[in-house]
Structures are given as C-alpha cells and as structure tokens.
Structure 1
Amino acid sequence: MGGLHALGRHPRLAALLALVAGAALPLAFAPLGWWPLALLSPVVLFLLAAELPARAARWAAWCYGIGYFGAGVSWVYVSIHQFGGAPPLLAGLTTAAFVLALALFPVLLVESARRLARPGGAAHLWLALPAVWVALEWLRGWLFTGFPWLLLGYSQLDTPWVGWAPVFGVLGMSAWLALLAGGLACALRRPQSPRHWGVVAGLAVAFGVGGWALDREWTAPAGEPLRVAMVQGNMGQDIKWLPEYLVPTLERYRDRTLPHAGVADVVIWPETAVPAFLHQVDEDWLSPLADALRAQGTELVVGLPVYASDRDAIYNSLVAFGETRQAYHKHHLVPFGEYVPLRDWLGGTLDVLGAPLADFTRGPRPVPLTVQGQPVGVAICYEVVYGATIARLARESRWLVNVSNDAWFGQSLAPHQHLQKARWRAREVERPMVRATNTGISAFIDHDGGVAERLPRLALADAAQPVQGRDGLTPYARWLNGPVVGLVLLVMAGLAGWRWWRRPG
C-alpha cells in the first residue's frame, strides 16, 4: 500500500481516484447491475481514509461523494429542466447544489470514523468505517424527509445472497457489504498478514452461505388469486396537463380498460393517470365506467388528484371504485416536486424549480385499501423507497400496489433505479407488487422480487397477470431496521467509549 500512502503527497491525484471510485458505484445498481462494484468502490474510499492525512482524506471523501451522487442522481436535472421548465443554468446549479450537499455524507463518514478509532488501525477499518457508513445511510433515509436513494444494499437484489433481504432489509445488506469492504481494505493494507485474509474469507463464506440458507419462504399464499390488469397510458409529461389532452387521455385509458371487463378482477391506472380533479371527471367519466366494469365483476383503481373543499386541500390520491368508494391520499410528499417547504415565507419564489403552483396536502398514515375483498397496501411513487413504511403496510396487506408517474425522469437512470427499489420492497416483505406507471417501467413483481412481466418503456400498453396474495411476516416486517441500527449504534458507542477510556491523562 505504499502507493496509496504516497498519495498523501499528491492530494489532487487522491481526489481524482476518489472521484472515479465514487462515480463507478452507481454502475452497481440498475440498469447495469455490476454488483461487485458495491464492494470494491467503498474499499477505495476506506483505504484513502486510512492512508491520507485528515485534510486530504476529507477532500478525497467529498470528491468520492461528488462522483457517487453526481452520476447516481443526475436525473434530478432532467426533472427540473426538461419537465419542470427551469432554465438550463438554474437547473444545473440546483442539481449541482443537491449533489454537493449529498457529497457531505462521505465527508462525515471519514471524519466520524477518524474520531472513533485511530486511522488505519484494524478497529478503524473493520468497525468504524463500516458502522458509520450504515448509520449515515439510515440517517439519509429520514433526515429532511429522507432521501434513501442508492443505498449500498440495493445492488445485491439479483445475487445468490439476496436471502438476507427478508431478514435484515436493505440496511442489513449494506452492513454486510460495508463490513466486507472494511475487512478487504484492512487485508490490502497488510497483505503479508494471513490473519486478516482469513477473516475476510470467513466473512465472505458466511455471507454467501447465510444468504443461501435464508433463501426460503417466510410467508404463505392466502385467499384466491386475483387477476389484475394495469394500463400504461404513456402520456408525455410535456403534454399531460394541457387541457386539450384531458379527453384524449380519458379515452385512451377507457379504451385500454374495457377489454379487461369481466376478465380481470381489478384494473389499475397509474399515479395522476387522470390530469384533472376527481370531482371534474367523476360524473361524466369515472363513475359510469366504474359502474359498467363492476357490473361484470371488475373493480377500477385510479390515480388522480382529489380536491377536498371542506379542508381546501389538494391530495395526490389513488381511488378504488368498489362496492364502496375508498381513497388513499399520499402521505410522504416530495419536497419541491409536490410542495414547497416554508411556502408561507417563500411564496412562489421556488416554483421555477418545478414545484406546483398549489401544494399537495399530506394525507394520513397509509392503511390498506380493500380491493375485491382483499387488503391491499398502496404506495404512490416515491413512497416505495421507504422500507419501514412498506413493511408496516404489509403487516395488514396481502399484496401491494405502487403507482407512479416516472415520466418526470425521461430517459435517465431513475426509472430503472425506482423499479429496483420496488422489487426490493417486495422481497423484504414477501408480498407480490403491481407497479403501474404512466410511461414505464410498469411491472408485475413476484413476492420474491422477481419480475413476472414488465411493459416496454415509453409505450402505450396494458397487461394482466394473476396475483396471489400472501399472509405471514418476514423477520424484517416484524423487526424493521431496529436490529441493524441498534447494532451499528452499539458498535459506534463502544468505539467512542474505548477511545475515551484510552485517551492520555
């Protein structure tokens, strides 16, 4: 590791190496799925944190974060400029500011680990860096409403050791990868020490064998399978909300729905499939269509905005037209996409970033809808990235629905990353999921996270599949993130206590 140590005299070269390593990490996720990079990329950061002086290590960590998030969330620019209407310069500056802020997390990682253990020591690489990595992923999942995007564990969805997913969730998978990365970094710093290589090999075997052994079914089929259809309307975001396209949109969805009448038990339309308030299209369009479908045994579930006049509130909703009408109002709203934080102070100043002129209102905590007599957990768009939320919902649900309008992401990486997270949620809780989107990627996801069928992106399409509901709880659905976060915080507290105990004087 003499070469890495020499980088301390060349901080710009170290920063460049960190930037490249960080930019490589998003390649571990969908659509490419080069999952070994989820182990190798953190190894580079850990080695730099161990070898470089404090200031150079912080600078390298920031460059790592710029590469990591700059490549991984570049789709933010597409949303703000191409579909939000912000000028290119403002969209670029906003995206850059977002990336630079996220890049502070690796800096916090390196600095916190340095304070917990002596840099370069076994405790620093084996314990401090892995523990703080996972703690920061957990923090990023809820701080400022949360941005749990590109968590390390997501990369392992299609690997043989995904059996860990329903036990400890995505944070547990991140913990395994971070621990292996720390051990590998420690072994690389001491290549002549067979002890470190032996421990790394043992952990790798335990990781693989454990994932294989845990790859079992924790839940069981329940009730009769339902035949579920979905319609992908493929209305471009640039025309979706234009008044002249309202009737063509309704006609498109109606015409794609009617062939499923009497054949499917349920037909699902995506998030804001109807670009109008419920009360504006209910009497002339939705109620007549729902009544006609229900007469043949088919229920309709529609994504559209709902205006509640008694509260003067606008909701992003999913409405089920069954024997009794039910509605789920989105609970976890996206800042600047669905509302402007501190609007009372800022007014319309930030609407240029794509925020709505009238904010959506946060709905109550999610509860299942009843569809054809079965409890169904619903998540609208971004809500599917919150593992604990979906797990709580799955406790009372037999299957899941995720509706989204990923047209905001254009041809970027985001629709693929979004689908990967939805698949992970299904695997964590072992519930099948129907994912209906406006422009793709729409998919029927099995309870093991596999894709039974997916519709082509940017195409008008529909499909139907049998969906078998399930009962029972996975360990993750019972425990949520408690065991992983508790262990990580315990390790960090132990390291901090030991260092305090050993301090001079």
Structure 2
Amino acid sequence: MLDRDETHSPAVPPPPVAAGRPLPLKVAAPMAVVAGLALLLAFPPYGMWPLAPVGVALLAAAAHRRRLRAGAGVGFLTGVALFAPLLSWTNLHTGYLPWVLLSLLQAGYLALLGAATAWVSPLADRGRWAWPALTGLLWVGQEALRDRTPFGGFPWGRLAFSQDDSPLLRLAALGGAPLVTFAVALTGGLLVTAAWHAWTTLRAARQTPADTAPADTDGRDPAPGGNALTGAAPARRWAPVIAPAVAAVAVVAAGLLVPLAAAGSGAPVTVAIVQGNVPRLGLDFNAQRQAVLNNHVDATIELAAQVAAGTQRQPDLVVWPENSSDIDPLRNPTAGARISQAADTIRAPILVGAVLLGPGPGQVRNAGILWQPDTGADMSQLYTKRHPVPFAEYVPLRDIARMVSDKVDLVRNDFVPGSTPGVVRAGPIVLGDVICFEVAYDEVVRDTVTGGAQLLVVQTNNATFDVAEARQQLAMVRLRAVEHGRPALMASTVGVSGFVAPDGRVSDATGFNTREVVVRELRLHDGRTLATRLGWWPELALAGLAVAALVGAGVLRRRQRVVPG
C-alpha cells in the first residue's frame, strides 16, 4: 500500500526538494504512527489537547506529494494508531472482534483522508498559504462522511471532542463541532506549513555550498546577496516559517475572544443526579435488573431523607441514567410501584431511563420517561432514543453479520428508533433529553434546543465500558453546552456523572463505579447561540469547499505534469 523510497547513486545528487518529492517512506511511515498517537493523547482521559494540531500536521506532512494509495496507507497507519487504543473500551466485555472491526472501519476513513491529502498536494505546493485551509477542509469533510456512514455513522474521535479544555472549544458557540474541528486542523496545517518550509530550507542549505545561493524552496531563485542561513535574503527565507507558526498560536488564542455565559439567564432550578451504580460491571449488569432499579430507588429515598432533615436542598427534578430500569415499569407493576415510591418520597418528577417492550414482538425501546409524584408515568413526556447503535442495540443485516461473528446474537431484541426530538417538559423545566452515544450527533442535540430545551440532559450507561469512555463522553457534553449556550448534565449508572455550565466548566463530577447523588442549582437558558441558529450550514459549507478543493486539484493535475511520489 505504501510506496518505496526512491534511491539515488552517491555520485548523483538527489533532485531539489522543489521537484515535488514526498518525505522518504522510512520517515513518513513512523511519522504517521506518531500522528495517530499524538491525536490519541489529545483525547480524554489524557487530555493533552495541544497534541491534536501536532497529530494533524504530522499526517499532512506524511501524506503530502505521495501517490494516492501511499497517501491512503499512511492515513490508515494514523487511523489504527488512533482508533485502536481510543476504542479499546469496546472489547472489555464483547471480545476482540467487534473492537478490531470497528477500529479498522474508522481507520479506513483516515485512509481516505490520507489519499485526499495526497491528491490536493499540487494545490498546497502552488500556494503554501492554501495548505492550512486545505487541511482544515479535508478534516471536516472526512468527519462529515464518517459521522453518517455506514448505518448512521460513528462520530467518536472527532477532533472537536479532543478540545474540552482548549480555548478552541469556545468556537463551538459560533459553528458547532465542525468549526472546532476546522480550527484544530487549520492550526495543524499552519504548523506543517512552517515545519515543511523550515525542513526544505535547511535541506537545501546542506546540499548547496555556503557561497552559493540555493534555489527557493518553491522553485524560485533567491534574492541576490544571501544564502539560506545568513544575510538579509535569508531573513526573508525564514519569514514563511515564522509567519504560519505565529498564525497557529493566534488561531488558538482567538478562541478566548468568543464570549460565553458562565451560567444561564433564566429561572433557577435545583436538579439532582442519582448515580445508583450496578452490582458488577459487564454485559451481565442487566441480569441484575432488579438490583440496579433498587439502587436508584434507594438512593433517591435517601436523598429525600436528607431533604427532610434540612441537610440537602429540595430538587425540582431528579434525573436517573439510561438503563436505571431495564424492567419495563409500564408493564411490570412491581417496577412501576418502586419508581412511584421514589417519586412520591422525593416529591419531584424523576426522568427515568427505561427499557420498554414493543411496539412489536422482539422489539424494545430505549426511553427516557417522566415519572410524576402521585400520578406516576407521564406518557405525554416520553422520549425514545432516535439513534440506536448498530450491532450494539440492533443488528442490521443480521444473517450476514452472523457469518462474521455469532456475537451478534447477544443482541436478542432490536431497539426501535424514536421519531421525535427529546423535548421533555417537567413542570417549569424544558429538558433536551439525549441518550448515551446520541450526544455525539450534532442534529440529535440541536433538535432538542430548537424544540425549546432549556437544559441538556444526557442519560447514559457506562457499565459495559470504563472510565476512559465515560470521560470521552463527558467531553462531548461540554462541547454541546458551549455550542448551544445551555447548562447540561450527564447522568450515568456508574459514572462519570456531573453538571456542565454553558461555558463548558464541569461541576460535581462523580467517581467511577460508585454510588453517588449530586444536587445543584442551575439557571435555565432560552436564548440561541449563533451555532444553534446556523445549524448544519457551517459543516455543509466547509464540506462543500473540501469537495471543491478535490475538484480543483484534479483540474490542476491535468494541467501540469506531476512528478510521481
């Protein structure tokens, strides 16, 4: 898949860098792996967000000027180095095959990105200042494709989700996750522009006698009176290194100029998150369904006792996580009675994460349902998860999938998707309910806000994963809070749970695999950010420009002879 190094006789000097040669393969292949590892370390739980642009820059340099299949090869190496460890939590309880297949599938999209990077190399060579923009556009285009295909896509590992502690997170308020991804990749493009020019300048200097001015790295003759390292002309030579490096810092710093509200501007409400925990982690957590339900009921009753004693505030709303009742409380009187006991005792509505049977045989629904004190289940305020996870909550092409692995039969009943956004009205509070991985999908969250949600709620169950997955998910909640200017919270069965302010700050985060209850006063918010108003237009515009760049590179390739790389 990767191309071989071109070798040259010692008696014949290598052609100038400006002739259009890529980096040697012995450099590019390790560089691609390091790119993936740098990207990995940018994500939680590591949180080294400045490494994301570095990873982007390394991949851009490795794929630059290569043949398409070689560009795909280095992109695939980056993808494997990133996604295999990033998604390692998927193999904790289901075996290695699903993890390997998912990691390779996601790496395939970075292979496409590597090929696209190689394809647009003539545009980058023609105008060095186009390289950063091309890098940003191609990353947005790749993510737009990966977020939607196949079977609705899998947006985990978007560049935007690595920036939860970065100034660039604030850009989400202007253009959502696509704009944050573009800014990260643009910064990486500026870094590679600076580094590439520095490398070619130094290489040209080493290949040229000190008293001879080398050709400019873009193929132009230098100004008279200097060489690559001394004199006035060299100062001009190093300007293309310094300028993009400074611009990269400026892009990151510019995020600090985006104003964000630290709190909502509406009415104050008190919300409680109940993290009931499970008897044991793993796929068999729901074999202890009654114990999980009892954990959440008992923790809520304990909270009510604290309220009665005056040691805790009376909540206006209690949020239970996804799968807090895997026994259908609408059909099982015992389960329904236990939830009613909790709601009646706490004297507040409870948003319950429940698995509901039906509508057809062999079908179930992953739902958030509002349970009122005294009256029980409020069927008018029920949200059914709109984006079930393929091969986890339902199995597409089951007969074919079974030929690959009989593990698909662990999913006995297919979850049926809902059709309406998760707008749930709990008295004075309008919730935007999304369930588990749905927080990664732009339109699922935005639909709740445009539907009137004042508080974003993410109900999730991390009992089959680990703390790394939970922290990666919390980073997505932080981005959504900034994107839509809403207070938000994540309620998990086992952690991490917590509250997020509209500026992305996390409060009262819980531990993992613990039983905890956290209560906080929030201020609701009704306004709309620019990102909310623009919706999918920023992504459409950026992805459209990426397609235009690919077309433009094709036209340019026809007009000029490209030296194979």
Which amino acid letter does the alignment assign opposite residue 390 of structure 1?
Answer: V
Structure-1 residue corresponding to 2:148: 142
Which amino acid letter does the alignment assign opposite residue 154 of structure 1?
Answer: F
Structure-1 residue corresponding to 2:384: 329
SS in 1 for 2:356: strand
SS in 2 for 1:267: strand
Partners of 1:354 and 1:439 in 2: CA distance = 26
Which amino acid letter does the alignment assign opposite residue 29 of structure 1?
Answer: F
SS in 2 for 1:196: helix
SS in 1 for 2:63: helix
Partners of 1:56 and 1:297 in 2: CA distance = 63
Structure-2 residue corresponding to 1:439: 494
Which amino acid letter does the alignment assign opposite residue 342 of structure 1?
Answer: L
Partners of 2:402 and 2:272 in 1: CA distance = 43
Within a 5 Å distance, the mapping from 1:120-269 to structure 2 comes to 121=125, 122=127, 125-144=131-150, 145-191=152-198, 192=201, 193-201=237-245, 203-204=247-248, 206-217=250-261, 220-238=264-282, 239-242=284-287, 245-261=288-304, 263-269=314-320
Partners of 2:21 and 2:58 in 1: CA distance = 12
Structure-1 residue corresponding to 2:444: 389
Structure-2 residue corresponding to 1:500: 555
Partners of 1:129 and 1:227 in 2: CA distance = 43
Query: Quick one: structure 1 residues 482 and 310, their matched pair in 2 at CA, closer, same or farther if it must change by over 3 Å?
Result: same
Instruction: Using the TM superposition, give the Cα deviation of residue 218 of structure 1 relative to its aligned residue in structure 2, in angstroms.
Output: 9.8
Query: Which stretch shifts more, 49-58 or 444-453?
Result: 49-58
8 A contact 1:337–1:354 mirrored in 2: no
Instruction: Using the TM superposition, give the Cα deviation of residue 390 of structure 1 relative to its aligned residue in structure 2, in angstroms.
Output: 0.8
Query: Quick one: structure 1 residues 28 and 375, their matched pair in 2 at CA, closer, same or farther if it must change by over 3 Å?
Result: same
Instruction: Using the TM superposition, give the Cα deviation of residue 236 of structure 1 relative to its aligned residue in structure 2, in angstroms.
Output: 2.4
Instruction: Using the TM superposition, give the Cα deviation of residue 7 of structure 1 relative to its aligned residue in structure 2, in angstroms.
Output: 10
Query: Which stretch shifts more, 147-156 or 295-304?
Result: 295-304
Partners of 2:26 and 2:238 in 1: CA distance = 33
Among 448, 456, 463, the residue aligned to 1:400: 456
1:211-254: per-residue Cα shift (whole Å, max 9, x none)?
Answer: 12213339852223233342332332444222xx3443333222
Gaps of 5+ in 1: 82-90
8 A contact 1:231–1:267 mirrored in 2: no
8 A contact 2:325–2:354 mirrored in 1: yes
Query: Quick one: structure 1 residues 6 and 499, their matched pair in 2 at CA, closer, same or farther if it must change by over 3 Å?
Result: closer
Partners of 2:437 and 2:23 in 1: CA distance = 44
Q: How many residues in Structure 1 have an aligned counterpart in Structure 2?
A: 490
Gaps of 5+ in 2: 1-15, 202-236, 308-313, 561-565
SS in 2 for 1:304: strand
Partners of 2:25 and 2:56 in 1: CA distance = 18
Instruction: Using the TM superposition, give the Cα deviation of residue 417 of structure 1 relative to its aligned residue in structure 2, in angstroms.
Output: 0.8
1:43-84: per-residue Cα shift (whole Å, max 9, x none)?
Answer: 111111125455443322221111111122122222422xxx
Structure-1 residue corresponding to 2:418: 363
Partners of 1:346 and 1:479 in 2: CA distance = 39
1:284-307: per-residue Cα shift (whole Å, max 9, x none)?
Answer: 343464266347631122111111
SS in 1 for 2:178: helix
- 1:377 aligns to 2:432 (yes or no): yes
SS in 2 for 1:339: coil
Among 81, 101, 104, the residue aligned to 1:100: 104
Partners of 1:393 and 1:248 in 2: CA distance = 32
1:124-176: per-residue Cα shift (whole Å, max 9, x none)?
Answer: 73333332121101111111211111111222221234321211122211111
Instruction: Using the TM superposition, give the Cα deviation of residue 360 of structure 1 relative to its aligned residue in structure 2, in angstroms.
Output: 1.1
Q: TM-score w.r.t. structure 2 length?
A: 0.79
SS in 2 for 1:366: coil
Structure 1 stretches of at least 4 aligned residues deviating more than 4 Å after TM superposition: 5-10, 51-55, 309-312, 344-351
Structure-2 residue corresponding to 1:60: 74
Which of these two proteins has the greater Rg computed from alpha carbons? 2
Structure-1 residue corresponding to 2:117: 113
8 A contact 1:240–1:275 mirrored in 2: no
Partners of 1:352 and 1:370 in 2: CA distance = 39
SS in 2 for 1:80: coil
8 A contact 2:459–2:491 mirrored in 1: yes
Query: Quick one: structure 1 residues 495 and 304, their matched pair in 2 at CA, closer, same or farther if it must change by over 3 Å?
Result: closer
SS in 2 for 1:60: helix
Structure-2 residue corresponding to 1:416: 471
Partners of 2:272 and 2:162 in 1: CA distance = 29
Among 76, 83, 101, the residue aligned to 1:69: 83
Structure-2 residue corresponding to 1:19: 33
Taking only the aligned residue pairs, the percentage that are identical comes to 26
8 A contact 2:368–2:382 mirrored in 1: yes
8 A contact 2:439–2:445 mirrored in 1: yes
8 A contact 1:416–1:441 mirrored in 2: yes
8 A contact 1:14–1:60 mirrored in 2: yes
Query: Quick one: structure 1 residues 221 and 286, their matched pair in 2 at CA, closer, same or farther if it must change by over 3 Å?
Result: farther
Within a 5 Å distance, the mapping from 1:41-52 to structure 2 comes to 41-50=55-64, 52=66
Partners of 1:342 and 1:44 in 2: CA distance = 38
Partners of 1:125 and 1:79 in 2: CA distance = 43
